[in-house]
């Protein structure tokens, strides 16, 4: 690996943003207001962690050469094959943020340093923009890359669509968000009290599922073997948990200017978080344990010399 993580992130973000701009529908095929609202949130900034992870996993898997035997791809083709999945996951992530900010959920007014979508366009258009992004994600997965004469590629695309669908739905993100609402006493008569295991299970769905799906999708699209896909998933599970722990820590220690969103809302709403259960120092130690496990997983799978390693350090050292 010769490219620095900083250079890799810059390169990937440009490619992802260009592809999102190209693939998102514009008028006249969809109404102006829907296109405008979707683009307001998609291009509001953000880390692009999930598409970065998908493309890093694709590159790492392809570089193994032993990845998948028949149908495995060269590293130079990895980005082309995984880019639609990477973008689809970012569309789903963005839709989830739009809906999460609504008054019925977290009722937030700031996201990525800008007013949230519903504060600009109203709740109705915000809901429809989120719905539109969700639907476009699966349209993109079905359409790109073209696979009409390639049965192996079509099979990979179908597998990825299932992985992402399960991660985004009631088995994953939607289910995790429902538990979060119960834990915050926002579901009358269904209050949940979460201990550490319950908190970890909630975040494995709410945040972790889509992070795992991103990494797994990248590996699948390059024709990685089942054993390599499983290793990538284990790595991403620990990465996702570390990401969420640090997110909870930053909600306590960060500022709205640093994070681009309202801070301290979890404590104000009496939501269970890692700092509220364990304190800041122990929470950071838990994140460090996740990183150590993920690093061992990469080493065992022969992927330690890849951008996946740098992404671990980026996630735990970030300030936003």
Cβ-in-10-Å burial (0-12, 13-18, 19+) of 29 comes to exposed
pLDDT band at 254 (very low <50, low <70, confident <90, very high): confident
Nearest CA among 234, 105, 263, 232 for reference residue 176:
105
* Cβ contact 187:181 at 8 Å: yes
pLDDT at position 269, please? Answer: 67
DSSP string for residues in 273-303: -HHHHH-HHHHHHHHHHHHHHHHHHHHHHT-
Domain ranges of the chain: 5-225
Residue 18: other Cβ atoms inside 10 A? 12
- For residues 63 and 140, the model is more confident at 140
Rounded to the nearest angstrom, the gap between the alpha carbon of residue 309 and the centroid of all alpha carbons in its chain is 17
pLDDT tens-digit map of 176-206: 999 999 998 999 999 999 999 999 999 999 9
110 bridge partner residues: 115
pLDDT tens-digit map of 101-124: 999 999 999 998 899 999 999 999
pLDDT at position 67, please? Answer: 42
Widest Cα–Cα separation across the chain: 56
pLDDT band at 272 (very low <50, low <70, confident <90, very high): confident
Instruction: Report the helix count and the strand count for the chain, using DSSP H and E.
Output: 16, 2
Phi and psi dihedrals of 214, rounded to 5?
Answer: -60, -50
Rounded to the nearest angstrom, the gap between the alpha carbon of residue 59 and the centroid of all alpha carbons in its chain is 18
* Cβ contact 303:229 at 8 Å: no
Mean pLDDT within 11-27: 97
Nearest CA among 252, 262, 246 for reference residue 113:
262
pLDDT band at 98 (very low <50, low <70, confident <90, very high): very high
pLDDT tens-digit map of 46-90: 899 999 999 999 999 998 754 444 445 676 789 999 999 999 999
CATH topology of domain 5-225: Farnesyl Diphosphate Synthase (1.10.600)
Q: Please list, in sequence order, all residues whose beta carbon lies within 8 angstroms of the beta carbon of residue 193, skipping any fewer than 6 positions away.
A: 183, 272
């Amino acid at each position: 690996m010769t490219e620095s993580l900083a250079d890799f992130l810059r390169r990937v973000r440009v490619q992802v943003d260009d592809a999102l701009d190209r693939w998102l529908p514009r008028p006249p095929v969809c109404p102006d207001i829907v296109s405008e609202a979707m683009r307001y949130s998609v291009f509001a900034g953000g880390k692009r962690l999930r598409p970065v992870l998908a493309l890093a996993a694709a590159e790492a898997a392809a570089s193994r050469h032993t990845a998948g035997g028949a149908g495995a791809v060269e590293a130079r083709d990895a980005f082309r094959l995984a880019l639609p999945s990477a973008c689809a996951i970012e569309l789903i992530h963005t839709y989830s943020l739009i809906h999460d900010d609504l008054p019925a959920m977290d009722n937030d007014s700031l996201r990525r340093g800008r007013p949230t979508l519903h504060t600009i366009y109203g709740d109705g258009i915000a809901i429809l923009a989120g719905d539109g992004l969700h639907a476009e994600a699966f349209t993109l997965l079905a359409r790109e890359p073209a696979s009409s004469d390639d049965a192996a590629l079509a099979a990979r695309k179908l597998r990825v669509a299932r992985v992402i669908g399960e991660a985004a739905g009631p088995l994953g993100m939607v289910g995790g968000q429902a538990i979060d609402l119960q834990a915050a006493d926002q579901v009358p008569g269904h209050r949940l009290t979460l201990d550490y295991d319950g908190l970890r299970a909630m975040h494995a769905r709410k945040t972790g599922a889509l992070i795992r799906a991103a990494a797994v999708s990248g590996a699948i699209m390059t024709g990685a073997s089942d054993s390599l896909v499983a290793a990538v998933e284990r790595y991403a599970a620990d990465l996702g948990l570390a990401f969420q722990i640090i997110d909870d820590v930053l909600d306590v220690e960060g500022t709205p200017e640093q994070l681009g969103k309202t801070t301290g809302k979890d404590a104000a709403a009496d939501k269970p978080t890692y700092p509220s259960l364990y304190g800041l120092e122990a929470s950071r130690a838990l994140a460090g344990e996740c990183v150590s496990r993920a690093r061992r997983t990469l080493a065992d799978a022969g992927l330690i010399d890849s951008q996946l390693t740098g992404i671990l350090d980026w996630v735990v050292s970030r300030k936003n």
